[in-house]
Amino acid sequence: MSVCMECGFIIYSEDKYCGGCGTVLPSVKQQAMATQQELTMEDVRFNLASVYFKMGKNEKAKEELDKVLADNPRDQQALNLLKQIKEK
């Protein structure tokens, strides 16, 4: 749920037009923003670790994975990547 930029009317994610003033709502943009908000800090760190790993910067990758695992010691994707780094 959000509010119309034009008139302040309450709008819902499935609405295509504002019920208050009839403005066409930027639904695609809103969905993109919602997706960004769902990315957790953990995901961001894991993605960063993956990038470091692909670049061969294993120490950096391990640092990021350690942070992920400090928050969530059972994070399976982080544990898997850490295992790959150790096997190298």
Binding site for Zn ion (CB under 5 A): 4, 6-7, 9, 18, 20-21, 23
Report in angstroms how near the CB of residue 17 gets to Zn ion at its nearest: 9
Q: State how far the Cα of 20 lies from the Cα of 82, in Å rounded to an integer.
A: 53
CA-to-CA separations, 31 to 3, 13, 62, in angstroms, rounded: 14, 8, 33
Token digits of residue 45: 């760190």
**Residue with Cβ nearer Zn ion (7 or 41):** 7
Report in angstroms how near the CB of residue 43 gets to Zn ion at its nearest: 34
**Residue with Cβ nearer Zn ion (22 or 66):** 22
Q: State how far the Cα of 35 lies from the Cα of 78, in Å rounded to an integer.
A: 21
Left if phi > 0, otherwise alpha if psi is -120 to 50, otherwise beta: which for 56? left
Report in angstroms how near the CB of residue 28 gets to Zn ion at its nearest: 18
**Residue with Cβ nearer Zn ion (19 or 51):** 19
